[in-house]
Chain A
Amino acid sequence: MSEPRRPNRMPIYLDNQASTRVDPRVLEAMLPYFTEQFGNSSSSGHAYGRIAAEAIEEARGEIAALIHADPRELVFTSGATESNNLAIKGAAHFARLYPRSGWPRDHIVTLATEHKCVLESCAQLEREGFRVTYLPVEPNGLVSLDGLAAALGERTLLVSVMAAHNEIGVVQPLAEIGALCRSRGVLFHSDAAQAFGKIALDVEEMMIDLLSISGHKVYGPKGVGVLYVRRRPRARLLPLIDGGGQERGLRSGTCIGIGRAAAIAAAEMMDEAARLRRLRNRLQTGLGRRVSGLRLNGDVERRLPGSLNFCFPGIAAIKLIEACPGIAISTGSACTSASVEPSYVLRALGLSEADANSGIRIGLGRFTTSEEVDFAIDALASAAGRLATEAVAEQGGAPI
C-alpha cells in the first residue's frame, strides 16, 4: 500500500527532539514584549525597564519551581549549547584558577554518547591540558554506575551526564549519579535539554550542581536557555562571555517565553507524558507488527515519553526517510543529520556500522495526534516493505 498523498501540506512533524513548535500560549505571553514593553531591562531608571525586569523575574521563578531550585540559581543563556559550554569550561577554568585542594583538579568524566556540544567542550579542555574520560555505555544506553565510580579520582572535578538522550531517549539514573558525585566531592553537571519539562527533575533530590535547559525543546522559543548553578554548596564558574554585569541582552521576551513554557509543563507534564507514552506504545506496537526484525535502540523502560529510535534491519535510514516524504523524521541529532557518518551514539551501544546506518529517530510531541501516529506507522511500514523487497530483488538478480 503506497503512502496517501497530502498535497500542499508540510509533512507530519515527528522530529520533536530537534526542535518543538512554540506553544500558542507561550507565543501569546511573548507577543506583548515584542510591541509594548520593549525596554532594555537593565535600564532600571525607567518604567519600561522595570516592567520587563519584573516579568523576567517571574519567568525565572517558574523555571526554578519546575526543577526545585532557587530563582537566584538560574542564569539565562542563548541556549543549551551555551549552557553546556559555560558549565563545563566554566567549572574547569575556575578549578584551574582557584585550586580548592592541595593538588590540581583537572579531570572530567563524561559519556561517549553525550551531545556534540558537551564532547566538543571536553575536547577543547583536553587541548588546554585537562584530562577527560569518555565512559562507554551499556548496550541499553545507560551509564554503568560501577564504571562511573571507578572512573572518579581525587583529581576529578566534574561529571557530565545527559539527563535524557537526544537520539535514543534513554533517561540516566540521575539521583544515583548525583549521590555518587556528592560523596566524592565532584560537581555533577547534567544536560537536560531534552528532559526539562518532559520528566520530573529535582536538583535537590538528584544532587545536581549544574543543569542545562533549552527553550526550543520544551515548546518555548529558540535563542534562549538556562544554566542552573547551585548556590549551596556553591558551584563556581568562570564566565565565558563577560558583559556589563547583567545577563547580556538575553533578558528579553524569549526569557518570558521559556518561563511560560516551564509553567505550562509544570501543570501538564504528567498528563502529557501519559498521553505520549500511549502514542509511543501505539507506534511501537503498530510498527513492530508490520516490520519484521524491527529493533528498538536504548532501554525499553527508562526513556522519554515521546522518544523512539529504531533499526529497520537491512534498510539504510536515509533511504527510508526519502521514501517517506509525508513525515519529518531524522537519522539522529539534527546537528549531524546532514553528515553521512553513522550515528556515534548508536555505535556506542555496540551496533555494527550497517545497523547504525539503519537507525531512525522518531520524536512525538505535544501536538502529535493519534491520526498522525497511524499515518506514520503506515508510511514507514509500507516504505520499509517496499525497500526490503527491492533489496531482495537486487540481491537475487545479482550475478554470483
Chain B
Amino acid sequence: MNEVARAHRGVTARTETYLDWNATAPLRPAAAAAMSAMLARCGNPSSVHRWGRAARQMVERARSAVGALLNAPPEGVVFVSGGTEANHLALLGCRRQRFLVSAVEHDSVLRAVPEAERIPVDRDGIVVLDTLDDLLAADPRPALVSVMLANNETGVLQPLTAIAAIVRAHGALLHCDAAQAAGKIPLDCDTIGADLVSLSAHKLGGPPGIGALVVTGELELIPLLRGGGQERGRRAGTENVPGIAGFAAAAVAAAEELAVYDHVRALRDTLEAGVAAIAPEAVVLGASAPRLPNTTTIAMPGVAAETQVIALDLDGVMASAGAACSSGKVGPSHVLEAMGVGPDLVGSTIRVSLGWDSSEADVVHFLRAWSTLYRRCRGLALEACAA
C-alpha cells in the first residue's frame, strides 16, 4: 500500500493492506499529473477557438494511447463514463435482436439486457464452447454474444480466440468486457477477436468515471446518449477531458509496467500456498483454469464471507466478499453459483486481489489476519461463526 494512503489522517489502523484491486486501483501518479494539468486548463473540445482546439488535441492523443492498449486504431475508441456505460452501449447499441451472455458476466452486462440467454460455464467458470455453438445454431436471428475476458470475482480468463471463431462462424457479433483484464495481461484486439471491447480506466490506475468502448471494425452503433454529436455521433456530451487524460496516462503506464505482474503472480501464489498450509480444507476457486495473475478467490468453509471481510478489515486488511458493486447487498454470487459451487462454499468465499504496488509484507499481513480469524473460528463452536 502506498505511503500517502497510509498517512491519511482519517484512516486509523496501524498498518493497512489493500487487497481489493479488482474493485478499484489507486490512481497512478502519471494519471494524477495528467488530470491536474488538464483540470487547470479550460476549453470545450468542440469549440473552434484555440482553447477548444488544445482540448481537442489532448483528447485525440489520448484516443491513440487508449487504442494502443488493445493494439486498436484510435478511430474505434469511443470515450464513455466507465465500464458500465461501455457495456450498455455495446449491448443496446449493436442493433441485434438476440443476445447471448455468459452466466458469469458482470452485472452491468446482465442488467443491460435482462432477457438475454445465458451461456453456461464449467466448474472453472469457463464458457462451454459446444453449448455456445449449439445455442447459436438453434436460432438464425442476428445475435450478439458477450463474454468477458477476465472475471472480476475469480480472475478466470475465457478462451476468447476460440469463442470468436465460433461466433464468427455463425455470423454473430462478439462483445468482450475487458475491464478487469486490461493493464494486467497483454491485450490485442486481433487475438480477442471481438467486434466491441469494453474498458474501464479506474481498474488500471486511471480515474473513476471514464472508460471506453472500442469498436474494432466498421460497426455502426445506436447512441445511448444523444445530443451534440460528440464521439462521431456515438456518444454525446462534452468530453471528460481530465478523465480522458488520466485514462490515457494510466494506459501508457500500465502497458509499460506490465512485467510487474510476474511479481504479482508470485505474491498471489505465495498467498495461496500460505492459505493451504494454514487450512487444508480451504478451497481456491478456479485454480485449475488460466487466471489473472493478481486475483484469488478463497473459501474458508463454514465461515460467512461477510464475517471474514469485517474481521479482516478490523485487522487492517481490505478484501471483498465478491464484486464491489454488490458488496453492500446480501445475496450469493451469481458467478460462483454458475460454476456449480455448492451453497456452503458460495457463502464463505472472499476475493483477494493484488496490484502493482503489492508487496511481500502485504501477503504476510493477510496471512496473519486470515490465520487469526481461522484459528478463532476453529476454536469456537463452528455454528457461532457460520451464522
Contacts and interface: CB of A to CB of B under 8 A. Distances in A.
B325 A244 contact: yes
Interface string A24-44: 000100110011111110111
Contacts of A117: 225-228, 236-237
B151 interface: no
Given A44-B327, A47-B16, A222-B239, A115 B36 contact: no
The 10 closest A-B pairs by CB, nearest first: A244-B325, A335-B228, A117-B227, A223-B240, A81-B237, A78-B81, A40-B24, A120-B226, A21-B42, A46-B318
A216 B27 contact: no
Contact of A244 (B40, B44, B108, B239): B108
Nearest to B45: A334
A118 B228 CA distance: 10
Interface string B314-325: 000011110111
A85 interface: yes
Instruction: Specify which of B26, B35, B46, B208 lies most central, judged by the most chain A CB atoms within 10 Å of its CB.
Output: B208
A338 to B, nearest CB: 6
Interface string B36-79: 10011111101111111010000000000000000000000000
Given A40-B24, A43-B320, A335-B228, A30 B50 contact: no
Contacts of B238: 19, 79, 81, 214, 216, 222, 334
Interface stretch (A167-175, A182-190, A250-258): A250-258
Contact of B47 (A15, A31, A40, A240): A15
A245 interface: yes
Contacts of A10: 50-51, 54
A19 B20 CA distance: 36
A11 interface: yes
Interface in B225-267: 225-230, 236-243
A105 to B, nearest CB: 22
Given A242-B88, A245-B326, A47 B225 contact: no
Contacts of A224: 209, 240
Contact of A45 (B82, B108, B321): B321
B293 interface: no
Nearest to A244: B325
B325 A246 contact: yes
A81 B80 CA distance: 12
A42 B52 contact: no
B240 A222 contact: yes
Nearest to A257: B39
Interface of A: 10-11, 13, 15, 18-22, 27, 30-31, 34-40, 42-48, 51, 77-82, 84-85, 115-118, 120-121, 123-124, 214, 216, 221-224, 240-246, 248-254, 321, 325, 328-330, 333-338
Given A38-B24, A42-B324, 9 more contacts: A15-B51, A27-B39, A78-B80, A82-B81, A222-B241, A223-B243, A246-B325, A330-B49, A334-B228
Contacts of A216: 44, 238
5 contacts: A47-B13, A117-B227, A224-B240, A242-B111, A334-B52
Contacts of B326: 244-245
Nearest to A30: B39
A46 B52 contact: no
B11 interface: yes
B279 interface: no
B39 A221 contact: yes
A82 B226 contact: no
A35 B205 CA distance: 11
B84 A321 contact: no
Contact of A335 (B18, B46, B81): B46
Given A43-B20, A79-B237, A242-B111, A34 B227 contact: no
B108 A243 contact: yes
A48 B317 CA distance: 12
B4 interface: yes
A221 B225 contact: no
B190 interface: no
Chain B contact patch, size range = 35 or more
Contacts of A31: 36
A337 B143 CA distance: 38
A196 to B, nearest CB: 15
A385 B97 CA distance: 60
Given A11-B51, A34-B32, A117-B225, A19 B328 contact: no
B85 interface: yes
Interface in B99-138: 106-108, 111-112
Given A22-B40, A85-B226, A241-B224, A249 B81 contact: yes
A81 B236 contact: yes
Contacts of A38: 5, 24-27
A249 B84 contact: yes
A120 B228 CA distance: 9
Nearest to A219: B42
A222 B46 contact: no
Contacts of A328: 47, 49-52
Given A19-B43, A36-B4, A81 B108 contact: no
Nearest to A16: B42
Contact of B49 (A39, A123, A321): A321
Contact of B32 (A19, A22, A35, A248): A35
Nearest to B35: A34
Contact of A241 (B13, B52, B88, B237): B88
A250 B225 contact: no
Contacts of B338: none
Given A43-B327, A117-B236, A245-B326, A222 B242 contact: yes
Candidate in A31, A244, A250 with the most chain B CB atoms within 10 angstroms: A244
B185 interface: no
A120 B227 CA distance: 6
A223 B20 contact: no
B85 A248 contact: yes
